[in-house]
Chain A
């Protein structure tokens, strides 16, 4: 064992935990009786129909294989492939998120650079920030009159705060020495913002962006459960209504995997802009 690196040992342990967990799960589900073993009475009372219990992992894996081998089929409003549902969710998350970035990063810059702007906007931020993004939903639905746009709006609202606050914080914290370097080189305000302040504040800004994308992905599931129609959140809720727990578990796992991929992408961006003082 000593010869293996920490990483190798961790991978082995992960697999052991995964397989152990799956075996315990599989073993704890009572087996369904085969139809031939049923008595006449059981057959008449519907006991032969599969019970809506928690499915064993083998079924979930089978379901995953089936869904992932044809992710983009479209058989009407209530039967779309998992790929299509995730694509809808990602489209809403990314559009709301990028709109939020377009607003939050410039305003964050302004707040970070100007104490007056900071003091003027701070009360609004303090009041608006703690509001659960879903609380905006009824208002959004009423004003926008469109469920898809309302979901995007909710994502916009929940993504804006971490980016705004981190940008302001990062910009305000840029060392005055670096700003002085820009000043002694006669850089104009735009050039200073782009070549000195932005790279100096980038790690903090990207941290805010990473927090935001995480929150946006959490919120989209709930938002889509509310507005319905399409998306991974709607899919989970719809499968629950169908009592198809296998699909519910499968889609829960997919939510985790997509969230992890989004986070990893921003983690990579974070490493790209990081610097050591």
Chain B
């Protein structure tokens, strides 16, 4: 793999299992993410998505392998990598605004207090929070509002890489939809690089440029990298009419329902596991085979059934 903006190289993670043995979560996982890309990773619960993300965040060290960002090895957490956790991780004794200024003041220690507050307020209003609500404590906010604060805190810091671990997992479907839209809006204005874990297929298709598919663990692999060939800007009620939508969706569903199990538990030894690129584009297909990628046709077989 040529050097991408973010390059994950031969990452292996083992944990001691209960019986004094080693449990390998994943082995020699290798993939890259380009600058400005929005990448989602899909996989069943327990396959190791959060483990990968914690390594990318620098919160945990892998058993072996390396993560390179801008050619430099990641070691320890950094303000260049912002994290939005599933449970929001807001500090409950601080108001919504203070939770954001907490981050901004850490990122820009040279800024005046007024500037920090102004900047934070701006990002809170970008995610639809203003007025009285920003002075409330997290316990006085709804789950959706808390996650908005968490997203505002992450974006306000302009990290080079934004990591989101199932950010909408605890939200109801309607709130989830609105915040996804807000996330898209705020992201499209920044060309921020985003790596997001989700288990919601529709969410991944709406948001991502590319979806990484993980097989079940142990010995999980990032098996495929599926390009989302649906142009932006995307609207949730319009993308379903796009000819590629169901083709891609079926491919993902099929992977999660059956292939993630079939491919699971395959030990590959020392070779590095890079995901196979999958490009599904009905429009290109209809135009005739002017694509120079020889693969789509073979992969479409799995999809059409």
**Chain A contacts to B: CB under 8 angstroms:** 177-178, 180-181, 183-187, 195-196, 199-200, 202, 273, 275-277
Count chain A CB atoms within 10 A of each CB in B58, B76, B77 and give the residue with the most.
B77
Within 8 Å by CB of A184, from B83, B87, B91, lies B83
A184:B81 contact, CB within 8 angstroms? yes
CA distance A184 to B79 in the complex (A): 6
- Name the B residues within 8 Å of A185 (CB-CB): 79, 102-103, 106-107, 157
Knowing A180-B83, A275-B137, A276-B139 are in contact, say whether A186-B77 is a contact too (CB < 8 A).
yes
> Do residues B87 and A177 form an inter-chain contact, with CB atoms below 8 A?
yes
Given A275-B137, A276-B137, check contact A186 B91 (CB 8 Å).
no
Q: Which residues on the B side are within 8 Å of A196 (C-beta)? A: 91
10 contacts between A and B (CB under 8 A): A181-B89, A183-B59, A184-B79, A185-B79, A185-B103, A186-B78, A186-B106, A187-B106, A195-B102, A199-B91
Q: Bound complex: CA of A196 vs CA of B93, how far in Å?
A: 10
Q: Which residue of A lies closest to B87 (CB)?
A: A177
Q: List which B69-120 residues lie within 8 A (CB) of chain A.
A: 76-79, 81-83, 85, 87, 89, 91-93, 102-103, 106-107
Instruction: Evaluate contact between A178 and B91: CB separation under 8 angstroms.
Output: yes
| Distance, CA A148 to CA B78, complexed state (A) | 53
Question: Smallest distance from the beta carbon of A185 to chain B beta carbons, Å?
Answer: 4
A175: nearest chain-B partner, CB-CB: B89
Q: Is A184 a contact of B77 with CB atoms below 8 Å?
A: yes
A-B contact count (CB 8 A): 53
User: Closest CB-CB distance, B268 to chain A, in whole Å?
Assistant: 32
The docked-state distance in angstroms from the alpha carbon of A191 to that of B81 is 19
Query: Is A186 touching B93 in the complex (CB atoms < 8 A)?
Result: no
Knowing A180-B85, A183-B59, A276-B137, say if A199 contacts B93 (CB, 8 Å). yes
Q: How far is the CA of A184 from the CA of B153 in the complex (A)?
A: 12
Which of chain A's residues have a CB closer than 8 A to the CB of B76?
A: 183
Distance between Cα atoms of A199 and B91 in the complex (Å): 9
Given contacts A186-B106, A276-B137, contact A180 B59 (CB under 8 A): yes
The answer to whether B93 touches A275, judged by C-beta atoms less than 8 angstroms apart, is: yes
B106 touches A276 (CB 8 A): no
B57 contacts A by Cβ under 8 Å: yes
Q: How far is the CA of A275 from the CA of B103 in the complex (A)?
A: 20
Q: How far is the CB of A273 from chain B (nearest CB, A)?
A: 8
- Per the bound structure, the CA–CA distance linking A199 and B157 in Å amounts to 23
Chain B residues, Cβ within 8 Å of A181: 89, 91
User: What's the Cα separation between A177 and B85 when bound, in Å?
Assistant: 8
Residues of B within 8 A of A199 (CB): 91, 93
CB pair B89 A178 closer than 8 Å: yes
Cα distance A140–B76 when bound, in Å?
49
With A and B bound together, what is the CA distance between A276 and B139 in angstroms?
Answer: 6
Say yes or no: A184-B139 contact (C-beta < 8 A), given A275-B93, A276-B92, A277-B92. no
- What residues on B are CB-neighbors of A275 within 8 Å? 92-93, 137, 139
For B139, what are the chain A residues with a Cβ–Cβ distance below 8 Å? 275-277
Q: CA A180 – CA B60 in complex, angstroms? A: 10
A177 contacts B89, C-beta separation under 8 Å: yes
Other than the given A181-B91, A186-B78, A277-B92, 8 more pairs (CB < 8 A) read A177-B89, A178-B91, A185-B79, A185-B106, A196-B91, A276-B92, A276-B139, A277-B139
